[in-house]
Amino acid sequence: MTEAAEKTVSFRAWVAVIGGLFGCFMAGMNVHVTSAALPEIEGSLGATFEEGSWISTAYLVAEIVMIPLTAWLVQVFSLRRVMLVGSFVFLVASIACSWAPNLEVMIIIRVVQGAAGAVLIPLSFQLIITELPPSKIAMGMALFALSNSVAQAAGPSIGGWLTDAYSWRWIFYLQLAPGILLLLAVAWSIDAKPMQLSLLKRGDWGGIIAMIVGLGGLQIVLEEGGRKDWFGSDFIVWMSLIAGIALVYFVWSQLYGSRSFINLRLLKSYNFGVASAAMFIFGGATFGLVFLVPNYLSQLQGYNAREIGISLIAYGMVQLVLAPFMPRLMKWLNPKFMVASGFFIMALGCYLGAHLDVDSAANVIIPSTVVRGIGQPLIMVALSVLAVSGLAKDEAGSASALFSMLRNLGGAVGTAGLTQIVAMRERFHSERVGESITLFSPSLQERLRASMEDSEAFIFNQLLPAQQQVLEGLIHTVRREAYLMAYSDAFYVSCIALILCGVAALALRQQAKN
């Protein structure tokens, strides 16, 4: 390809790329628009904090299962059909989410929505690699990051406003406008190709079933383990065993099978392997904290959906401002130092959020999220470019599917893991704080005595309620302090993981060599 031809990109190619970015925007909006409203959804559907995490993780697990199949589905049905069907089903499922009567139905619809939307992210990534010349890929990745940033900036604020003004059920209608634009862009810009239905007969159905069972079982273990005493439960033991066997077979079938549907050997490529591991951690920290922060503000600071949305606006806005500058920044700086800097900056944001007390509301959360938001574009753009450096165009399908799958798998694991950390550490801190408070401790005796002295009468039926109120207030205070420490622990864990990723990023190569 000549230099002139490389710099020339047809209008139709740009429409295809930008249309794909609308799909990426829809998927990002779907996660972030629910974040501000999540406490309201949990309350409306009768879900606890831990059960409510399934509203996010059910969607992510369905995405994780379907993303690796995207490249194979494109071979069978063509890229145009896969994107059109995926977009249409995603829109229908979004409307159905707004009608969900209970948690169980919501989770089922979220699975359908996640499965349909799963194709949109890797195919958006794939269109950037295949439709744009190498000189424009950095710009394409910046647009990819920008679409996520717009979703993160607009999602929480609009979702919070709609929830506060009308109902959380209205937030799912926000998918309609970008979804229609995506359908129109794909229908006009991407050529129809004949289907190859014969590939269905030669499909690796054993590997597909093993992947579904393995990844689904792994997520069930992560979500339910804390509630069922982990390996003290026969259910968790058997589910872990089944998931482990299925995942081993899935990996073996893709590495050595003759009908593999995704090229796991790409992970042997040095840059792609290291970048994929870093993206897994990045997804875990990003999605996990997007779930935790709204719950923290609602549970411990009493924020409503609108206030949560306002608190999260800055998180997306700073990314929206920075993303367009990333391609030019990559010309001035070594991309691997950009990635490492991004991880260290995100770690700093987590550290700022790890010192929580009763007064830690927006005054702590907004600076923490802004700092994390500064680091994210540095990672998203530069890491994506370094990951695909040295890969052939015909490997774009598997590369985009793997990269997206690991990001979302990290998100599902991170959401479930951080949720369990908060739940487990709350119990731990409650026990430790409670050990120092007994009926015979001088401080408690003093508070009970004060309640007696404040009572106008000392008859038994008046004294007992006064003492009971003191004890209930004390229990509430202990749990509140325990939750503050538990949320701080979750931020610390994320901080350490991101620092390790920053160190690993320094090992990336400027020009990839397999």
The mean pLDDT of 2-6, rounded to a whole number, is 48
What DSSP assignment string belongs to 83-135? HHHHHHHHHHHHHHHTT--SHHHHHHHHHHHHHHHTTHHHHHHHHHHHHS-HH
* Kind and range of the H or E run holding 420: helix 396-435
Whole-number Å distance between alpha carbons of 145 and 140:
9
> Of 355, 327, 282, 309, whose CA–CA distance to 501 is shortest?
282
Whole-number Å distance between alpha carbons of 323 and 327:
8
pLDDT-derived band at 117, boundaries 50, 70, 90? confident
Whole-number Å distance between alpha carbons of 421 and 428:
10
Q: Give the highest mean pLDDT range of 1-15, 54-68, 279-293, 466-480.
A: 279-293
pLDDT at position 5: 47
Contact (Cβ atoms closer than 8 angstroms) between residue 110 and residue 55: yes
The predicted-structure confidence for 313-347, as pLDDT tens digits, reads as follows: 788 788 878 877 877 787 788 888 888 999 999 99
> Of 513, 149, 497, 505, whose CA–CA distance to 326 is shortest?
149
pLDDT at position 50: 66
Mean pLDDT for the chain overall: 80
The predicted-structure confidence for 401-451, as pLDDT tens digits, reads as follows: 788 778 878 887 888 888 888 888 888 888 877 666 655 566 555 655 555
Q: Regarding predicted confidence, which is higher, 447 or 300?
A: 300
